[in-house]
Structure 1
Amino acid sequence: MAAAGVGLVSGTAPSGFSLPIQTVEVAGTSAWLVEDHSIPVVSIAWSWPGGAALDPAGQEGAGAMAAALLTEGAGPLPAADFADALRDAAISLGFSATRDAFEGSFRSLTEALPRALDLARLAMAEPRLDPEAVERVRARGVAGARRVLETPRGQAGRAFWREAFPDHPAGRPSSGTAESLAALPVEAIRAAIARQLRQDKLLVTASGDLTAGQLRTLLPRLFAGLPAGAPPAPPALPGFRAFGQQVVPVASPQSTVVFGQDGLDAADPDWEAAQVVLRILAGGGFSSRLMQAVREERGLAYGIGGSLEVLFRHGIILGSVATENARVAETLAVTRAEWARMAEAGPTEAEVADAVAFLTGSLPLSFTDSRRTANVLLSLRQNGRPADWLEGRPARLRALTRERLAAVAARLLRPQALAAVVAGQPAGL
C-alpha cells in the first residue's frame, strides 16, 4: 500500500463557526474528512467525472439505470435480501448519475460501518442486474420520463437544455427518455458500470464519527474490486448557445418559463462576486429584484428566481417563473428589464450589505448533519476548490465593493443573450 498522509485545514466563518477539514491520502486516493464524534453516525460520499455525459447517443439514461440498479441486488444478495440488509442495519446507500458525474454515498451508525462498507463495495463491484430488477427499474424510469413531460415545467426544462447544448450530452435528459430507456439493453447498463466505476479519478469526502486513521483504513476496502484506470474523459462542454426565445405548445392555463444565459467558470476570480450579484438580482427570495418587480409590484407570478447551476466546472445562470398565459409577455419583459438594469448600474450599497451578510451568516446551515457536510464537501471538490476555500470565504465576500460588483454585473449579465423557453399557450408570443 502506498504511503498515506493527513493534513488539517480549519475553515472558519462568522460567529465562531469552524470546520476542520482533514485531507487523508491512501493508495492514490485522497479524501476530505470532518470529524464529529458527538453523534455515532458516519456519512461518506464519492464521485467520478462522467455521469450521463458518458452515455452513448441513443442510450440516454444508461448511467441513471446503472446507478439505480446498484442497490437492486449485489453479490450473493438478490434485491429483496440486499434491501433487508440495508434496513436491518439502518444504512442509507444510494447512487446517481448527474449530467457530469456519477455519485455514491452512504450514511450509517458507527457500529454498522463495517456492514455499510461491505454492502457499498458489493453494490459497486458485484452488481447482479437480475432480469426482474432491470425491468422493474426500467418501468419506473420510463414512467418518470413520461411524467416529466406531462407538465409545462418539464417540457420547458427539457427544451432549454436541448437548445442551449444541441450537440453535447449536456443537452440531453440525464435520466434518459421514455424511448431510450425502453430500448436500453442490459449489456449497455453493464457497459456503463464498467466504464464509470474505476479505481482512479475518485473524489471522496466523509463526515461524522470517524478518525483520519479509520478513514485511511476503510478507503481501500470500500473500493476493492473495481477495475484499474479512470473513466473515459467526457466531451468538453461547448459554449452556451444563446438561442433566443422558444415556445413549446402545452395545453395549460399557465405557462412555465425557463430562462438563462452563460455564466462563469468555477475557477473564475469573479465567481463569488457573481454569486452576490445573482443573489441580489434573482436568488434572494422576497428581497431579490426579480421578486420585487414581478410579484410585489405587479403581481405577475407567485414566485421567480434563478441561480448558477454548475456542470463540468462551469456555471450556467438558470431561472424559472410560472404565470398565466395572458401575462407571460409582460413577465418576460420585466425580467429582461431588471436584467438590463443590474448590468447597467449594478447593485446598491444596501443590497450588497444584505447579500454579503446573508451569504456569510448562513454558511453554517450547510453543515448541520454529517450527510449534508459530506455532500457539500464533495461539491467543493468537484468544483476544484482547495481545502482552505471555506476558511477564506467570509473575508473574500466582505471585501467585495459595490464598484467591483457593478463591474462583474456588467461583465456577467447580457440581456440580449438571455435565452428563454416558454411551455404553455402564451398570449402574444
Structure 2
Amino acid sequence: MRAPQSAAAPLPKHRSCPFDPPQEYGRLREQDPVSRLAFPDGTVGWLLTRHEDVRAVLADKRFSSNRLRASSLLRRIMVRPEDHESSAGMLVMLDPPEHTRCRRMLTRYFTARRMQALAPQIEQIVSDHLDAMEHSGPPVDLVQAFALSIPSLVICELLGAPFSDRGRFQGWTSTLLRLDTAESDAFAAADALKQYMLDLVAAKRAHPDDALLSHMIATADLEDPEARLSDEEVAEVGRMLLVAGHETTANVLALGTYTLLCHPTQLHRLREHPENIGHAIEELLRHLNIFQFEAVRVAQENVEIAGRRIRAGETIIASLIAANRDPDHFPKPDELDLTRQPSQHVAFGHGIHQCLGQQLVRVEMGIAFPALLRRFPTLRLAVPPEMVPMRNDKLIYGVHELPVTWEG
C-alpha cells in the first residue's frame, strides 16, 4: 500500500557526512519517492528520489528543460528571465528542435576518441603540476596546486583561450556559483563572461587556430545555413564549456582525493591495482555527485509518475544524488566500493541532455588520480578530516581547500 503523501517541504540540504547526500533523501525515497517540493518563490512542485523515476523523466520528451519556465530553487544564473534570446546555445536549457540542432553540431567534437586524443597533452599538464608540487614541498592546498589548475588549463587548451585569462574566468565563475551572491553581481559576472567569449569568438574568426572554437566556426560555415550555429551561439556554448569544463572536474578531483584519503582501504586497493582506475572513476562519480540542486524539468502536459499526477506547468526536481544511492539499483549504495561493476549511474544526467563533456572528465580523472598517487605514495591530509572546508555555499559541491602533505 502506498504511503500517504507528505506535505510540501524545501529541498533537503543538510549533510551529516561530507560524502553523503542529506539523509532526508533516503526517507523520501522509501516513503514518498514522488514528493511535494516547496520552492523559495512560493510555488510547489515535485521531487523525485528513485533511480527508475529520475531516468524515466530525464528521457521523457513531455518534460521541458527550459529553466526560464521553471519554479526557482534559487536565483537564476547566466540568463536573465526576461532575456529569452540569451539562452541560445545554452544546451542545458534548450528543448528540441533547437537542442537537437545545437547538440548535433557539437557531439562530433566530444566523442571518446577525440577526448582520448587529448591524453598526451593532459598527461604533460598533470606532470608539470606534480613537478611544481614536489618542488614547493608539503604542505600544499591540492585545490589550487592541482585540482583547479589542471582542468582550467585543459579547457583553455581545448577552447583556444589564453591560459593567462584563467584568473578572470575563475573569478567570474566563482561569483556566479556562490549561493549568497547578489543577483546584480551574478548578472554582471555572467555578462562579463559572455562578452569575453564573444570577443574570443571574434578573434578566432579573424585568426583561426586549431582549437575547438575555430573548428566550430569553420564547420558551421560549411553546414546547411539553417543548421549552422551563429557566432552568438558558439560564444554561448563556449561560455557553458568554460564554466562547466573547469569547475565540475576540479571539484570531482578535489572531493575525490579527499574521499580516497578518508577511505584508506579503498585507496590501498587502487594503489595496488591501478588498472582498475576505470571502475574507480565510475564509483567515485556515483558516490560523489557534486550538483547540489539537481536536474530541473517542467511538465508540458499532465503526466502520471508512480501514481502521482503531475500537472502541466509544474516543476520537477530529479535528484541525481538520491538516484545514485538507490538500494533497489545499487547494492549497499552508501558504501564506497572502487571494485563495483560499472552501472547506470546518473552523475552525468540521462537522456538527450546527458553531459556533453563526460568523456573529457573521465580522461582527466583517469590520468590525474593515478599520477597523483604514484608521485606521492604517502599522500595524506595535513589537517583533521573535519577541518576540511566544504563548499556548502556553492551551486557545485566540493571542498574549498584540501591541505595535504607527504613524506619528503
Normalising to structure 2: TM-score of the pair?
A: 0.26
Higher relative contact order (CA 8 A, sep 6+): 2
Normalising to structure 1: TM-score of the pair?
A: 0.25
- Structure number with the higher helix fraction is 2
